[in-house]
Structure formats: structure tokens, C-alpha cells
Amino acid sequence: MVSPAILLLIVFFFVPVLLCFALAFTNARLISPEPTTIIGFENFTRLFGDPVFWKSLRNTFYFAVVVVPLQSGFALLLALLISAKVRGVYLQRGAGHRLAQQPNGGNAGHHVHVDLAGGRLPHGDLAVGPADHPR
């Protein structure tokens, strides 16, 4: 008997890959009333002749080679700084944790409660609701 993991791998990986490979050599369209025919390498010649494809490939290569390593290196540097045995690290960790808890990060420690019945903020300086609502 085939294990469930191998069965799932076949159904959800190998079958779609083989279908994509087979359909790449046809003119298949999802909503076309015309029957699918085999056209060979025509799709690939059109793809390689498209300047948008080459620009997309260049952008993907740039992202993979430049952006991902820099972003990962910066994240590693921040992790090393936060785990270092330096003075004030607990304050830094607490500030980072407090900012991460806030939905708008820069407004840490300030809570806004809105009185929906009266349409006012606690300090009465702004109204929430229709523009013609009396203050």
C-alpha cells in the first residue's frame, strides 16, 4: 500500500507538473470554444521574444541575488544586536515588544477610546461620524 504522504505528493505535485509541461506545447485556453491543438515550441519562441519577460526575469534575479541576502543579513544583524550582552538591552527588547503589540507601531502607549453614541473622542477635539454631527 502507498503511504498517504507519497499519494499526496503524486496527486498535488507530480500530476500538476506533468500537466503544465504537456500544456506548454499546446494552444489550450480556459474559455476558448476551439479545441486544443499541439503547437510545439511556438509558446516558447513568443515568450523569449517578449521584452517584458526578460525584464521580469532580470527583476526576479535582482531580488533573489541582492534583496534577499541584504534583508536576511539585516535581520540577522538586528537579532545579534538584540541578543548581545550590552547595557540597556532589556529596555531595547521591551520597546521593540511594545511597538510590535501596537497596530500602528509609532503610537505605542496611547490608547484611543471612541464614544460611538456621542461621536466624540475622549478629549472632544475630533468627531467620529457624519460631518454635520454637532460637537
In a domain, 119, yes or no: no
Q: Which amino acid is at 132?
A: D
Are 26 and 70 within one domain?
A: no
Are 42 and 55 within one domain?
A: no
pTM over cut 0.75: no
Are 60 and 97 within one domain?
A: yes
Does the pLDDT value for residue 126 go beyond 50? no
The answer to whether the CB of 120 falls within 8 A of the CB of 135 is yes
pLDDT score, position 113: 47
**Based on the structure, what is the number of domains in the chain?**
2
114-119 long-range contacts (CB < 8 A, ≥24 apart) are: none
Are 72 and 97 within one domain?
A: yes
Range of weakest confidence among 59-63, 91-95, 131-135: 131-135
In a domain, 38, yes or no: yes
In a domain, 57, yes or no: yes
Are 85 and 73 within one domain?
A: yes
Are 42 and 64 within one domain?
A: no
Are 55 and 86 within one domain?
A: yes
Q: Which residues pair with 115 in a beta bridge?
A: 120
Domain holding 8, by residue range, is 1-49
- Identify the three-state secondary structure at position 90: helix
Report the C-alpha gap between 111 and 122 in whole angstroms. Answer: 10
Are 59 and 35 within one domain?
A: no
The answer to whether the CB of 27 falls within 8 A of the CB of 36 is yes
In a domain, 128, yes or no: no
Which one, of 37, 122, 120, lies nearest residue 130 by Cα?
120
In a domain, 22, yes or no: yes
pLDDT score, position 82: 76
Are 36 and 71 within one domain?
A: no
pLDDT tens per residue across span 71-115: 999 999 988 887 777 776 667 666 666 655 656 545 444 444 444
